[in-house]
């Protein structure tokens, strides 16, 4: 798989200064976690799940979670497991992330992990790993041990993606201790933990809250505080941190709007782009675009998605701009190793070599995963191409 690989070759050449790299489950872990992008969730009960996976791969989806947990009724778990096994058998063979998206299963119990590996048989080759719900040190370690056992059964690497969504993490009096425990658990199993996912819906639920389409997760101060603390402890750029993904955007249909649209008209020029702006506003996507930008500003990368229409915006805003790439490569030039300050090639900012080094390294990693836009190509052009 590769980001924007569903677009025609000539169009990718028009859009990209450097195209995204190809990847699969065997890609080095740090790059693979960056490549997750918009991870699309789907209930494992869907009767045409295999066909849905193939269809979404053709639309640019590169990672999916097939859910056996909160998205299905408790009474449907056994039927969902049976359906999952049947649907994997109906998929074309290969390695996860080869022709199909990276596929993960969100489980309810540690025992489901090894049981599913046994039941999937050769179909387990299509599985990239498991999503672990309501993760704390006490509840999470048995899940991680089960993933280790499943690796031995499958005779290959399997990844874990813990979901940070427990009340202990939200509540102020237990947050520091809970974060310390989570850090101990995921650090012990670092080679297995691909990314940490934030369960913001559960955070809001603990206080009876729900944000509107005009509000991002960062407008809900209870949630914003947790995100900041998670990144503080688990998302550091000193080699100890993990990729932390952005929270889910819940809206995908027309709602009555209380506030003015947040999407400025100036980036959208005439013709198709103006129609695209109107379409984004009509479907409450302007709030999503703002939240994606705030995700990256707050140290998050990638996003949980519950609707296919959210995928293209996440990927378009993940592409490294030509200006960002120019700054990052300037900062990381070998001759800059001693530090110093330099004016950017775009002559609009100061690049201070030592303080901006970690940002530059992360930017070039994102450039590998999502590519570098050509000079003059912005997110509007990338988004318009992605929603074709």
Residue-wise pLDDT for 57-107, tens only, equals: 999 999 999 999 988 999 999 999 999 999 999 999 888 778 899 999 999
Mean pLDDT of 266-288: 58
Same domain, residue pair 225 and 345: no
Kindly provide the residue ranges of all beta strands, DSSP E only, lying in 44-176, ordered along the sequence: 63-67, 102-106, 127-132, 159-164
Confidence of residue 284 (pLDDT cuts 50, 70, 90): low
Number of domains in the chain: 2
Nearest to 19 by CA among 284, 294, 303, 382: 382
CATH number at residue 150: 3.20.20.60
| pLDDT of 281 above 50 | no
| pLDDT of 269 above 80 | no
| pLDDT of 257 above 50 | no
| pLDDT of 23 above 60 | yes
Report residue 47 as tokens: 């009767």
Q: What does the pLDDT look like over 345-362, one tens digit per residue?
A: 777 888 888 889 999 999
- What is residue 30's predicted lDDT score, i.e. its pLDDT? 96
Q: 318, 353, 368: which is the final residue of a domain?
A: 318
- What is residue 72's predicted lDDT score, i.e. its pLDDT? 92
Q: 264, 283, 318: which is the final residue of a domain?
A: 318
Question: What is the value of pTM for the model shown?
Answer: 0.90
Same domain, residue pair 331 and 261: no
Same domain, residue pair 31 and 116: yes
Report residue 223 as tokens: 């949630």
Same domain, residue pair 171 and 293: yes
Mean pLDDT of 269-278: 54
Same domain, residue pair 311 and 333: no
Q: 294, 318, 342: which is the final residue of a domain?
A: 318
Same domain, residue pair 276 and 337: no
Q: What is the percentage of the chain residues whose pLDDT exceeds 70?
A: 91
- What is the rounded distance in angstroms from the CA atom of residue 240 to the CA atom of residue 137? 17
Same domain, residue pair 324 and 295: no
Nearest to 144 by CA among 85, 184, 87, 200: 184
Q: Which domain holds residue 333?
A: 1-21+320-388
Same domain, residue pair 203 and 226: yes
Same domain, residue pair 17 and 135: no
Same domain, residue pair 29 and 17: no
Mean pLDDT of 43-53: 96
Q: What does the pLDDT look like over 113-170, one tens digit per residue?
A: 999 999 999 899 999 999 999 999 999 999 999 999 999 999 999 999 999 999 999 9
Mean pLDDT of 361-365: 96
Task: Round the average pLDDT of the chain to a whole number and report it.
Answer: 90
Flag the least confident range among 91-100, 200-209, 305-314, 339-348.
339-348
Same domain, residue pair 276 and 369: no
Same domain, residue pair 147 and 55: yes
- What is residue 264's predicted lDDT score, i.e. its pLDDT? 53
């Amino acid at each position: 798989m590769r980001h924007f690989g569903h677009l025609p070759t000539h169009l990718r050449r028009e859009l990209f200064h450097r195209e995204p790299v190809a990847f699969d489950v065997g890609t080095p872990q740090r790059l693979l976690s960056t490549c997750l992008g918009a991870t699309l969730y789907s209930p494992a009960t869907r009767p045409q799940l295999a066909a849905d996976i193939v269809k979404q791969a053709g639309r640019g989806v590169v990672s999916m979670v097939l859910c056996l947990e909160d998205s299905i009724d408790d009474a449907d778990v056994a039927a969902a497991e049976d359906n999952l096994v049947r649907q994997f058998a109906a998929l074309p063979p290969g390695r996860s992330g080869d022709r199909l998206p990276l596929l993960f299963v969100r489980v309810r119990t540690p025992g489901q992990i090894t049981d599913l590996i046994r039941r999937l048989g050769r179909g387990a080759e299509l599985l990239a790993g498991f999503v672990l719900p309501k993760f704390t040190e006490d509840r999470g370690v048995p899940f991680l041990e089960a993933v280790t056992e499943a690796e031995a059964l499958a005779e290959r690497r399997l990844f874990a993606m813990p979901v940070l969504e427990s009340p202990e993490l939200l509540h102020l009096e237990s947050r520091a201790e809970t974060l310390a425990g989570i850090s101990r658990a995921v650090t012990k199993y670092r080679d297995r933990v691909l990314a940490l996912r934030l369960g913001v819906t559960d955070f809001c639920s603990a206080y009876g809250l729900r944000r509107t389409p005009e509000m991002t997760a960062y407008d809900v101060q209870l949630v914003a505080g947790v995100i900041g603390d998670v990144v503080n402890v688990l998302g550091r750029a000193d080699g100890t941190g993990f990729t932390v993904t952005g929270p889910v955007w819940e809206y995908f249909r027309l709602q009555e709007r209380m506030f003015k649209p947040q999407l400025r008209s100036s980036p959208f020029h005439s013709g198709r782009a103006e129609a695209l702006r109107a379409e984004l506003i009509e479907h409450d996507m302007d709030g999503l675009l703002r939240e994606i930008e705030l995700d990256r500003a707050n140290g998050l990368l990638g996003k949980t998605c519950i609707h296919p229409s959210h995928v293209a915006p996440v990927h378009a805003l993940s592409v490294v701009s030509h200006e960002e790439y120019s700054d990052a490569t300037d900062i990381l030039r070998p001759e800059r190793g001693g530090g110093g300050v330099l004016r950017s090639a775009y002559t609009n900012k100061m690049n201070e070599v030592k303080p901006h080094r970690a940002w530059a390294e992360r930017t070039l990693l994102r450039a590998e995963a999502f590519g570098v836009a050509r000079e003059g190509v912005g997110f509007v052009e990338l988004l318009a191409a992605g929603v074709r």
